[in-house]
Amino acid sequence: MTATAHTADRVFDGERILENQAVLIEDKAVTDIIALGDLPADIPLQQYPGCTLIPGLIDTHMHFMRWQGPLFLAYGVTSVRDTGNDLAWILQCRDEWPQKPWPRILCLGPLLDGTPPGHAFVAHAITDTDSAVAAVQQTAAAAVDGIKLYASIAAEWIAPMTETSHAAGLKVSMHCLPHGVLAAGRAGIDEFYHLDGILADIWPDHPPGWLAVWGDPDFDKTWDRQREVADAIAAMHLVSTPTLAYWDSQWRIRVAEPFPEERQYMPADLFQWSAAEPDAELGAVWQRAQQAASRFQGLLLERQVPTLAGSDTPCGGILPGQSLWRELSLLVTAGLSPIGALRSATSTAADFLERPELGRLQKGCAADFAVVRGDLGQQIPERPELVSVMRDGTSYAPNALLQAAETVAPSWRDEPWARQFAEHWAKRTAARP
């Protein structure tokens, strides 16, 4: 197999920006990064002027559907971690990715949840401590990449579940509603999603409700307590995956005709099921909540709490791949530098996932990279222009992937998350007067 070299005005190796360097690829691996002047004359060099070459991005929080695969690749996302799906179905997809124009797939199996679970088609329902431990053992035995606890897990199940998971060599990620992040952290979890549970820690006697509480004028008076909670989270070495793109989507889908470009690629029914009725007032409540959540995430960033980029697509009607770029720009708004944001979707993510072959461009890493127009060290574009993508040594043209993505096979309706969205939608419409 012959080697090829790839260079751009700037190369981000997962840690820092380099200039006048080329990435050497052989078969499915990066074999070196070397100075352009040292490049052997017999190695063909592909140059990308005006661009930044980055490791393939990792979306650490999403729920896989087959139609998403080419879109992720088109936006330079070469790895995804599915954070809740039907176990047998997602394991099948994880086996298939090398033969498809998809990102590589990691998965946490089903949402381990109480009874009845919030999302029955993608959950494993638990009734007591014994079944909680058995659920972790059963999921771990399927060789998943981590364990996910969902929102109605009883507080006393968390510690036995994390002990069982850690004994199997797997980290535990959780929606910490309603017990709070600190209680879940003391019970041993490794990562928390969506900033869920923070309200219970910051403002235990808050007014009833959930969403409006974030934007409540009195929420700002909890600032000292917010700092204490952020200190405690940092001291526990927890990892935050705030999915700010999901928070952001919740006001956007309440304006008229939301996401005109995204809708072109998403199955129309699925978009309708995940969107909402236009509602300016509720949209404004979501926007205030998002700003409060972003400020709290900023406190975590000040304390160096490791933060991973995750989009939560397809929830909120957001587009696979493009929504991860929105997440990166929202993380910059919350306080990360552009380089820090890129790390959250590359090296920081790979370190947490214990996948040293991902998220970096260095000897021995997977041949996964993306070439993006502009200087990403200066600015993260919310709508990036992708020039080329390589996944596992295979090159893809982003525009060809986007064109292919305009047609979605009707079988998407048989997939677990399609059935889940359809059921939620049917219940919502039946409840309407």
Residues binding Zn ion (CB under 5 A): 312
Q: Are strands 45-55 and 369-373 parallel, antiparallel or unpaired?
A: antiparallel
Q: Are strands 29-35 and 239-241 parallel, antiparallel or unpaired?
A: unpaired
Task: Enumerate residues 6+ apart whose C-beta is below 8 A from 44.
Answer: 2, 4, 5
Please report which helix (H) or strand (E) contains residue 291, including its range: helix 280-302
Encoded tokens for 72 = 């992720």
Note the maximum CA span of the chain. Answer: 73
**Contact (CB, 8 A) for 91 and 107:** yes
Question: Number of helices (H) and strands (E), helices first, in the chain?
Answer: 17, 17
C-beta of 142: minimal distance to Zn ion in Å?
19
C-beta of 50: minimal distance to Zn ion in Å?
36
C-beta of 301: minimal distance to Zn ion in Å?
21
C-beta of 315: minimal distance to Zn ion in Å?
6
Secondary structure of residue 138 in the 3-state scheme: helix
**171 or 360, CB closer to Zn ion?**
171
C-beta of 246: minimal distance to Zn ion in Å?
8
C-beta of 313: minimal distance to Zn ion in Å?
9
**Residue whose pair of structure tokens reads 């900023």 in the numeric block:** 298
**312 or 415, CB closer to Zn ion?**
312
Region of residue 228 (left: phi > 0; alpha: psi -120 to 50; beta: else): alpha
**119 or 254, CB closer to Zn ion?**
119
**59 or 312, CB closer to Zn ion?**
312
**243 or 388, CB closer to Zn ion?**
243
**242 or 258, CB closer to Zn ion?**
242
**123 or 230, CB closer to Zn ion?**
123
**Contact (CB, 8 A) for 91 and 145:** no
C-beta of 373: minimal distance to Zn ion in Å?
30
**Contact (CB, 8 A) for 123 and 111:** yes
**CA dist., res. 201 & res. 203, Å (int):** 6
Partner residues linked to 55 by β-bridges: 369
Task: Enumerate residues 6+ apart whose C-beta is below 8 A from 199.
Answer: 206, 210, 213, 214
Give the HSE-up count for residue 68: Cα atoms under 13 Å, Cβ half-sphere: 33
Measured at CB, which residue is nearest to Zn ion? 312
Q: Are strands 104-107 and 77-82 parallel, antiparallel or unpaired?
A: parallel
**Contact (CB, 8 A) for 423 and 117:** no
C-beta of 293: minimal distance to Zn ion in Å?
15
Partner residues linked to 48 by β-bridges: 8
**13 or 312, CB closer to Zn ion?**
312
Terminal CA-to-CA distance of the chain, rounded, Å? 66
**201 or 312, CB closer to Zn ion?**
312
**312 or 327, CB closer to Zn ion?**
312
C-beta of 83: minimal distance to Zn ion in Å?
5
**Contact (CB, 8 A) for 320 and 262:** no
C-beta of 406: minimal distance to Zn ion in Å?
25
Angle formed at CA 103 by CA 393 and CA 241, multiple of 5 degrees: 125
**318 or 387, CB closer to Zn ion?**
318
C-beta of 240: minimal distance to Zn ion in Å?
14
